[in-house]
């Protein structure tokens, strides 16, 4: 991991391989480690760039609220610092997808293709906003990240994954437990305030691959199919035996899907 100072914050980033830049953006409240199966598999064919977002992992925590546009601008500045001038393939999961919509909106010229994994385009419902506020209160004042782990873990994995992939479950559990409560709260405030990206979908004029676990209860396949249908050049790939964390639960299928997408882009 290297540390890069951009926009007043230190960001930790792992970089491997060479060629077409592939930016892997983790979900909430995780780190670049959630891409461990993709980094090793894809580095032989492209330049994999996997940062820890502001407030998570080895990156600096900032107080207040960190919006999806803030994260997107951090990533653009990080690419500048790494000397990445050519258009990238942006790959984001869940909140990494929320950031991806804003990255495209602000930095479209930098995007050659999009891979959106287990994510949503719509803003939070009123009920979801209430849940976010309760979670912030619990994390900062009551249960800390232990509460976060207990609340989120059953929703992140398919039922079979919880039993069959203990190493992946433990990775996610330990990552959440190690997360900074202040960083978690700042990101949650930003996620709650994110705009509805649905109107943006029709303007995304680059090839896109939407990946969803067949058992995802947070970003259901039906909802992701609607997102794909609204985008001019999008395909939907449903990953079997996976929930919300498809890249961890069925890495072989996700890696093969991303590789096929990269091959099409390079033809």
φ, ψ dihedrals at 187, nearest 5°:
-70, -40
pLDDT score, position 166: 94
Split into its structural domains, the chain has a count of: 1
pLDDT score, position 143: 67
What's the CA gap between 14 and 1, in Å, rounded? 5
- In which residue ranges of the chain is pLDDT below 70? 142-143
Domain that holds residue 203: 2-266
pLDDT score, position 141: 85
What's the CA gap between 50 and 38, in Å, rounded? 10
pLDDT score, position 63: 87
φ, ψ dihedrals at 6, nearest 5°:
-140, 140
Q: Is 6 left (phi over 0), alpha (psi -120 to 50) or beta?
A: beta
pLDDT score, position 117: 98
CATH of the domain at 54: 3.40.50.1820
pTM of the model: 0.97
pLDDT score, position 147: 87
Q: Which helix (H) or strand (E) holds 6?
A: strand 2-6
Which residues is 212 bridged to in the sheet? 238
pLDDT tens digits for 15-28? Answer: 999 999 999 999 99
Under a CB-based contact definition with an 8 Å cutoff, are residues 235 and 228 in contact? yes
- The DSSP secondary-structure symbol of 94 reads T
Q: Which helix (H) or strand (E) holds 117?
A: strand 111-117
CA 192 to chain centre: 16
Does residue 168 sit in helix, strand or coil?
Answer: helix
pLDDT score, position 267: 80
Nearest to 16 by CA among 4, 6, 30, 35: 35
- Please enumerate in sequence order all residues whose Cβ is within 8 A of that of 29, keeping only pairs 6 or more positions apart, or say none: 56, 145, 148, 152, 175, 176, 179, 183, 184, 187
């Amino acid at each position: 991991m290297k540390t890069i100072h951009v926009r007043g914050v230190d960001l930790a980033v792992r970089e491997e391989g060479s060629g077409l830049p592939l930016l892997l953006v983790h979900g909430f409240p995780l780190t670049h480690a959630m891409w461990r199966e993709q980094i090793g598999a894809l580095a032989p064919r492209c330049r994999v760039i996997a940062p820890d977002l502001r407030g998570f992992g080895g990156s600096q925590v900032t107080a207040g609220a960190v919006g999806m546009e803030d994260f997107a601008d951090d990533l653009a500045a990080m690419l500048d610092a790494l000397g990445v001038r050519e258009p990238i393939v942006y790959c984001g999961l869940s909140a990494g997808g929320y950031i991806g919509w804003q990255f495209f909106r602000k930095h479209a010229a930098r995007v050659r293709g999009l891979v959106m994994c287990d994510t949503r385009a719509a803003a939070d419902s009123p009920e979801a906003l209430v849940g976010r506020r309760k979670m912030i209160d619990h994390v900062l004042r009551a249960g800390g990240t232990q509460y976060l782990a207990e609340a989120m873990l059953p929703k992140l994995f398919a039922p079979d994954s919880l039993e069959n992939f203990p190493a992946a479950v433990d990775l996610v559990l330990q990552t959440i437990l190690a997360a900074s409560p202040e960083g978690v709260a700042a990101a949650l405030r930003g996620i709650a305030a994110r705009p509805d990206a649905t109107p943006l979908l029709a303007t995304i004029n680059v090839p896109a691959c939407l990946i969803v676990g067949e058992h995802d209860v947070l970003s259901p396949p039906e909802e992701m199919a609607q997102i794909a249908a609204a985008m001019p050049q999008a395909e939907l790939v449903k990953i079997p035996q996976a929930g919300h964390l498809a890249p961890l639960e069925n890495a072989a299928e996700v890696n093969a899907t991303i590789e096929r997408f990269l091959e099409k882009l390079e033809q």
